[in-house]
Structure 1
Amino acid sequence: MDHETNQSNLTPEEQAELNELLRNMQQRDQQQKDEPIFADHKSIPWLALLAAFLGTIPGIIIWAIVGSFGITWSLIGALIVAGALLAYSFACERTGGEAFESLYGFIGVIVVCLIAVYLGVHFAWAGMISSVFKDEGYPLSFGECAARLYELLGIMEIRGKFFWAVIKGYLFSVAGAVWLIGKFKK
């Protein structure tokens, strides 16, 4: 049905209300088109930090794979930092915010990088322990080792080595980030 047929069955008061409602809807639609994607600027840092975490996922995966062979490189830490920074900057740009306009954004990206490095080391050690248990004839999967890592580290009495690996991971990541920043400053 078209609007004229519907409106002819309405009283003049109802027609006026309907016209007012349609006008308000059109104004609201136009306002929504003119606003940035996220008008609530308080949500931008959280969305950007989520993007930063998503940007670290390739680095976490590479760290877990390479680290399960007992290898740690500063380049992987640089990859994690670069992924976080690029994804954060991109998300801020897309949502109408300024990348690193506040100290909170910068601190948030650092926290995201710390979590990502920890996860990379965690998954690398889960892979190593899973491999050791399979070699010994125990059917523990990677997922089971990852979920029960602290318990397994305690049983094997190597928690201290694990935490030392986490600290080394942070140091390697800082070295990689410094190298990365030096490359881009030139």
Structure 2
Amino acid sequence: MNEPETLLSSPSEPSLDTSAQLSPDEQPASTATPFSPEMILEQLSAEKSSFPVLPGLIGALLGSIPGVLAWVILGQVGFIAGICGWLMIRGAIFGYTKLAGGIDRRGEILSTIVALMMPVASEYLGLAVSIYRNFHDSYGITVSDAISSVPLYLAEPDVLKGIILSLIIGYVLIAIGNIRINPKQKKAEPGQIPRL
């Protein structure tokens, strides 16, 4: 009967439960399993690293420029330029993703805010271009004169009515462009923004 006791207390054999004898500060780093709280926290903190905001905003502004240009050009031709709202939101999200290296919830919100400001800027620029085209030859209006006279033309009810109609259509199409249609995107985990 002495033999089993000597086997258990023999110093040549390593003890199987050495981690129970160590304090939490002395635990070896290799004991963390993939499902341990430490590893889960490390993975979550690595996943929560956000993308840079300033390059993303610059990308959103640059990405929405094709929509702004299309809005101004279609407005000059006489079409309701609101269709370009979809192009603005898609371009803003694309630009944010490219320059920030990816997009998260904050990036999606910032891209949407940029896209919501662009129709107003587009209408303002479109009206300035119309003023310049109509009055440049007869009155010698410069580009800066045309831009500074836009608020005077916004006081006209007919002009304001056309701009409001175009903005409403543009904002509806921005909202439609912001909806995810791809079924794979609906199955994404909460907090994860799928790639476009």
Aligned-partner Cα distance in 1 for 2:136–2:62:
31
- Go from structure 1 to structure 2 and tell me whether the alpha carbon gap of 1:125 and 1:48 turns closer, same or farther (over 3 Å shift): same
Whether the 8 Å contact between 1:55 and 1:80 is mirrored in structure 2 is: yes
Q: 1:89 aligns with which of 87, 97, 100?
A: 97
Kept in 1, the 8 Å contact 2:68–2:118? The answer is yes
Moved more, 68-77 or 47-56: 68-77
Q: TM-score, normalised by structure 2?
A: 0.56
**1:107-147, CA deviations, whole angstroms, 9 ceiling, x for partnerless residues?**
21111001122212221222223333347x33224442223
Which of 120, 123, 132 aligns to 1:121? It is 123
Q: How does 1:113-152 map to 2 (within 5 A)?
A: 113-134=115-136, 137-152=138-153
Q: Looking at CA atoms only, which structure, 1 or 2, has the larger radius of gyration?
A: 2
**Of residues 62, 71, 83 in structure 2, which corresponds to 1:63?**
71
Structure 1 segment 1-186 matched on structure 2, within 5 A:
44-73=52-81, 75-93=83-101, 98-100=102-104, 102=105, 104-134=106-136, 137-154=138-155, 156-158=156-158, 160-161=160-161, 162-175=163-176, 177=177, 181-182=180-181, 184-185=182-183
Instruction: Give how far 1:88 is off.
Output: 0.8
The change in CA–CA distance for 1:173 and 1:43 in structure 2 (over 3 A counts) is closer
* Relative contact order higher in (CA < 8 Å, ≥ 6 apart): 1
Distance 2:144 2:72 in 1: 13
User: Gaps spanning 5+ residues in structure 1: where?
Assistant: 1-40
**Could you say if the C-alpha distance between residues 178 and 44 of structure 1 is closer, same or farther in structure 2, counting changes exceeding 3 Å?**
closer
How many residues align structurally? 135
Query: 1:34 is matched with which residue?
Result: none
Q: What are the superposed Cα offsets for residues 24-69 of structure 1, whole Å, 9 maximum, x if unpaired?
A: xxxxxxxxxxxxxxxxx78811221121111111211121111122
Aligned-residue identity in percent = 23
Aligned-residue RMSD, C-alpha: 2.9
Q: Which runs of 4+ in 1 moved over 6 A?
A: none
TM-score normalised over the length of structure 1: 0.59
Query: Which letter maps to 1:47?
Result: P
